[in-house]
Structure 1
Amino acid sequence: MNLRAVTAIIALVIALAGTVWLGRGNGDIQSAAPAPKQVETSEDRPKISPTGPYPKAVVEKPRYNFGSMAVGQTLSHHFVLKNEGEAPLEVKKGATTCKCTLSEMKENTVAPGESVEIELTWTPKSPQEHFGQTATIYTNDPENQELKLQIEGMANNLIAFTGDHEGSPHWSLPTMSTTDPVSFTGKIHTKYLDEFKILGIESSQKGLTSKFKPLTAEELKEADAKTGYSIEVTADPEQFPLGGFNERLTIKTDIPHDLSPPGSEEAHDHPEGHDHKHDHEHAEPSGPRNFVIQVSGNHTGPIRIVPTFGVHWNPQTMVLNLGEFSAKEGKSVILSMFVEGTEQPLEIVDQEIAPDFLEFELKKDEKFESKNKQRYELKFAVPAEMSPVSFGRTNLAKVKLQTNHPNAKVIEFRVQFISL
């Protein structure tokens, strides 16, 4: 065997030995733990450590229900965020639909084993069967990089009324058919305030008066309220013309417009660049609150009107509806009016008719026999060959009579029709 062959064999043996040694050595080396999945974050979020150790963000109850609260009332809840990890927890406030406040902490970090409070505050601006507001908290916990905290509840009107319909109370008085005043008693109360005062009540009509007194303990229990009042409304027939009416009572109270606790800020955070002047223009009015109650009724007095068959007459509003008809043909209807309270024949002292083409006629029924009543025929007519015209709910035609009757000095009829 020549020298070159021997040298090649020795080199091969050395190479094989090195390969075996390297294989054994690799079997003894421990594999490194894989780095946690790094989610891409924006520059303003806390950074996740690529190797650890890591914090652990824990909020036991991330959702809180306020239950029932009042429109305009400000409530807050404190969530507790604890760091159960091995490294400092960095936190930063993200997007929020309500006011979110972080308690003071050093450089926005929470040491292992420590906790921080996060306050969420909400002021509902309108009634809602269910509201939900959310705040997002960014952290450097790789398992909880975004924490969602939520407050929810129901928002109702601060004050409840008898006859309340979607926040607009409407009280109806009994029909005024004699000279005796009529009355209605309604209630105003709340389950959100411990007390409030009525400073006064103003009426849009001098013949409409009112008085109030606190609700009894039994009445409060029945209404599920903390405090409230009963209000008796009285209408004097001598102060009302005949026909339907709709008046207003303005209840003046000591309830402030802003129900936020003293020193509290606006319920919403203002993002950068927010127009504070615009907020000022739409801010809540200052001073105590007023509440308006619509009061309706019908003053029939000593008269009663009975329409003939097919004629649409509303005694509550004193509105005669002629419906739709041909302008070329026109239309006329007859109503019967029974009058009490006088032995003298009813006379028209003056009358006002609008539009002026509307025809009206009052005729006494001489054949009607009664000891205490008189019967009259009322004729309303739109002449034929008129141009098409419409008188609807917002522009009713009117027939206003001044009479010699001591208890029916003014009688006003309103007429609705469409001629085509």
Structure 2
Amino acid sequence: MLRWILLAVAVVVLAAASTLVMNSAPAPSPFGVPVAPTATGPQPKAVVDGDLTWEFGEMGQQQTGKRSWKLTNQGEVDLQIWKGSSTCMCTVAKLQKDGDRLTLKPGESTDIDIEFKTNYVTGDFHKGANIETNDPLHPTFPLFVHGKINPPIILIPDNTIDFHTVNTDAPTKVFVALYSPDRPETKITEINTSKPEYLTTEVVPMSESEIESSGGKVKQGYKINIDVKPGFPMGLMREEIVIHTDHPHRPEIKLTAVGTVVGPVSVVPDRLRMVTVKSAEGASSEVHLSVRAGKEATFTVASKPDKLEVSITPEESADVKGRYKVTIKVPKGTSTGLIDGEVVLKTDLPNAGELKIPVSFLVGSN
């Protein structure tokens, strides 16, 4: 009996001791990981002069920029510094001592350079690199550069010039503005057009009032007047204008002039497109021409895709004059493939020039 009493007393004593140990132990981390010990004793202290983001304003494409920050160890022990991650290959943090890692004694300073290349970015630019340290309060310093990147040449409105509707009986003029933000002294050396006999250009320096109205964006620039002369071929317009400059990063600029040229002859429809032509059967379609005021005219075929047959006949009508039918035919046995191009007609009407009819036929075996 005495033996059982002693055993019970021992169990109670052990339970009490266990409870005391549990209550005196530190509480576990609520995140399931050990609590990091708090730094004690003298520590390094990294201090960077100025804002960590440098606002550089505006730069041009394919340029290299550089910014320096001064970093000082204001702590009581050595500060370790090394390069961290970068937002892109165009941004590199360079420490002003040998190697990618250095030690600063208390009170010592160093410069940290960020070099960056704008490449072909247009618009907002925000890049940076991280500097890592052994300062427990500032383990990382993110150094950034921010600004706007301009293309070498700016065109207003843009690289496509829409003439909308052009009357072949009268001259039509539009203009584009051109300037260089990073090289205001840029000059236009030459301009070529795909139809120099009908599409001409004139370069005029911007006036002082035009430069002032830009709000400081333009220091020097040009207006390029583009003229469509009477007699331009009727139909859809898509021509090229090539501007040559002395800017090293944009020596050539290609513009596209688009629109619809109308005149004394209207075309219905203004283009032909067929995607179900069978080689064994062939196919044909028609375009109708109407001459203004019912005048009579002569039309001849100036050019056409080789595989097509084109004929022009007056429309039979006793009441209406000046109307003609253009029959465009894919002959039987035409080889398979895409027939894409223009049927160009000439006329004897004054200032009418040529008449272009875009055509597209897809010839299949079945």
TM-score under structure 2 length normalisation: 0.70
Distance 1:354 1:203 in 2: 24
TM-aligned CA deviation for residue 132 of structure 1: 3.5
Residue in structure 2 matching 1:126, options 120, 125, 133: 120
Distance 2:205 2:299 in 1: 48
Residues 149 and 251 of structure 1, relative CA distance in 2, 3 Å threshold: same
TM-aligned CA deviation for residue 122 of structure 1: 2.0
Residue in structure 2 matching 1:354, options 305, 312, 330: 305
TM-aligned CA deviation for residue 417 of structure 1: 3.0
Range moving further from structure 2, 339-348 or 291-300? 339-348
Residues 408 and 57 of structure 1, relative CA distance in 2, 3 Å threshold: same
Counterpart of 1:149 in structure 2 is 143
Say how many residue pairs are matched: 321
TM-aligned CA deviation for residue 347 of structure 1: 4.2
Residues 91 and 329 of structure 1, relative CA distance in 2, 3 Å threshold: same
Deviation sequence 1:229-264 (CA, Å, 0-9, x none):
2210112344x444334333232333333xxxxxxx
Q: Map residues 101-140 of structure 1 onto 2, 5 A cutoff.
A: 101-103=94-96, 108-128=102-122, 130-140=124-134
What letter is aligned with 2:325? E
Structure 1 unpaired stretches of 5+? 1-35, 39-49, 258-287, 308-312, 314-318
**Seq. identity, %:** 28
Residue in structure 2 matching 1:230, options 220, 223, 235: 223
Residues 369 and 188 of structure 1, relative CA distance in 2, 3 Å threshold: farther
TM-aligned CA deviation for residue 85 of structure 1: 0.6
TM-aligned CA deviation for residue 86 of structure 1: 1.4
Helix, strand or coil at the partner of 1:173: strand
Distance 1:143 1:130 in 2: 32
Residue in structure 2 matching 1:363, options 290, 305, 313: 313
Structure 2 unpaired stretches of 5+? 1-35
Counterpart of 1:275 in structure 2 is none
TM-aligned CA deviation for residue 337 of structure 1: 0.6
Helix, strand or coil at the partner of 1:219: helix
TM-aligned CA deviation for residue 396 of structure 1: 0.7
TM-aligned CA deviation for residue 409 of structure 1: 5.4
1:337 aligns to 2:329 (yes or no): no
TM-score under structure 1 length normalisation: 0.63
Residue in structure 2 matching 1:206, options 196, 204, 208: 196
Deviation sequence 1:148-167 (CA, Å, 0-9, x none):
32223443423322232xxx
Helix, strand or coil at the partner of 2:210: helix
Does the CA contact (< 8 Å) of 1:174 and 1:184 recur in 2?
no
Counterpart of 2:160 in structure 1 is 170
1:255 aligns to 2:260 (yes or no): no
What letter is aligned with 2:194? S
Q: Map residues 3-402 of structure 1 onto 2, 5 A cutoff.
A: 53-59=42-48, 61-66=51-56, 68-96=58-86, 97=89, 98-103=91-96, 108-128=102-122, 130-164=124-158, 169-173=159-163, 175-207=165-197, 208-220=199-211, 222-224=213-215, 225-227=217-219, 228-238=221-231, 240-257=232-249, 289-307=251-269, 313=270, 319-324=271-276, 331-340=283-292, 345-348=297-300, 351-356=302-307, 358-365=308-315, 367=317, 374-382=322-330, 389-391=336-338, 396-402=340-346
Helix, strand or coil at the partner of 2:141: strand
Counterpart of 1:28 in structure 2 is none
Does the CA contact (< 8 Å) of 2:125 and 2:146 recur in 1?
yes
Higher strand share: 2
Distance 1:191 1:300 in 2: 39
Counterpart of 1:261 in structure 2 is none
| RMSD of Structure 2 on Structure 1 (CA) | 3.9
